[in-house]
Amino acid sequence: MRIEEQVLGTGTRYLLYKEQSVIGSAVLEGSRFTAFAIDPRWQGKGYGCYLLKEILRRNGGFDTQTESCFTAPLPDASNAAAFALAGRFGFAEADGVLRRLRVPDLTAVQLVHRLLSGMLAPGGLYLDATCGNGHDTLFLCGLAGPDGRVLGLDIQSEAVRATNALLARNGMEAVGQALEADHADLARFAPPGSADCVMFNFGWLPGASHAVHSQADNSLRALQAGLDALRPGGVLSAILYSGKVIGDSEKHAALEFFRALPLSRYTVLVCEFANWAEDAPLPCLVIKRPGGH
């Protein structure tokens, strides 16, 4: 089976071919289906599922990071097959139409971004100590604004290149820059008490070999350097990982480090998801209290 896509004047028409013959078609105008049909000779053989799934996939309907809402006319009440097909892909009757609403899944990274967005103000110095592909660095650039400064650090040159390319594509070169450096050496770039925020996202570079990942001893030195760099009222965030590839030594070492921090100087949050897997990413935040040095 294959799908050939043709863009028409007021929407997008999808044609489902089998053996060079059209056996199905659909029209999607924006996010609204205005037509969907399978040749009666080919109904009940899974072709409707194939066509609908492919259209949703091509239009972001399965993107876990983006909200989407598709609608379609209500089928005739006697068309049980049409209702079954719609229900299989999450459509439900609402306000006289079929509606499929998908809300993004909350990830550990998104949670940290939301928390930091409510705690930090534009301006100042922000560090992404493990910049990876640059998404946290770009996020910090948005927080820092044109009067702020963001530095991303990574020991892998491909991560630095990817981050700088992402910043350039988003017009953030004047705010942020990635440098090739070990996160344990971040004191070279942020004197004590100078940083508003230091972010860590441990583990490995997404899309790269899992054999190269952060290690407990070096990460603890980096966390201490990050705390030293914070100004009073500044925030350090860290997402901890465990699993078959990297084990759990770094995660447990970091948690022990956080839990030993004196309350007189730091407020520590460990944001555990109670109904996630034990080896799910674990977001942590440390706020340097006023008077903490």
From edge to edge, which strands make up the β-sheet containing 2-7? 2-7, 12-18, 21-29, 32-38, 68-73, 97-102, 92-94
- CA gap 287, 226 in Å, rounded: 11
User: Which residue's structure tokens are 């901890």?
Assistant: 240
DSSP 186: G
pLDDT per residue rounded down to tens, the chain (293 residues)? 566 655 455 568 999 998 888 999 999 999 999 999 999 999 999 999 999 999 999 999 988 778 899 999 999 989 999 999 999 999 999 999 999 998 877 888 899 999 999 999 999 999 999 998 899 999 999 999 999 999 999 988 999 999 999 999 999 999 999 999 998 899 999 999 999 999 999 864 454 444 444 566 788 999 999 999 999 999 999 999 886 666 678 889 999 999 999 999 999 999 988 888 888 889 999 999 987 55
Location of each CATH 3.40.50.150 domain in the chain: 108-288
Burial of 9 (C-beta count, 10 Å sphere; 0-12/13-18/19+): exposed
- CA gap 54, 75 in Å, rounded: 20
CATH architecture assignment, domain 108-288: 3-Layer(aba) Sandwich (3.40)
Predicted confidence at residue 208, as pLDDT, reads 46
Predicted confidence at residue 162, as pLDDT, reads 94
**Residue 85, SS3?**
helix
Going from the C-alpha of 231 to that of each of 20, 130, 227, the distances in angstroms are 67, 20, 9
Location of each CATH 3.40.630.30 domain in the chain: 2-102
On whether the CB atoms of residues 24 and 55 are closer than 8 A, the answer is no
Closest CA to 204 of 194, 193, 196, 212: 212
Has this prediction a pTM greater than 0.85? no
In terms of C-beta distances under 8 Å and separation of at least 24 residues, what long-range contacts does 51-57 make, across chains too?
51/3, 51/14, 51/16, 51/24, 51/26, 52/26, 52/85, 52/89, 53/89, 54/3, 54/14, 55/14, 55/26, 55/28, 56/89, 56/100
CATH for the stretch 2-102: 3.40.630.30
- CA gap 54, 48 in Å, rounded: 10
Predicted confidence at residue 216, as pLDDT, reads 67
What is the number of alpha carbons within 13 Å of residue 53 lying toward its C-beta?
A: 8
User: Which residue's structure tokens are 């983006």?
Assistant: 66
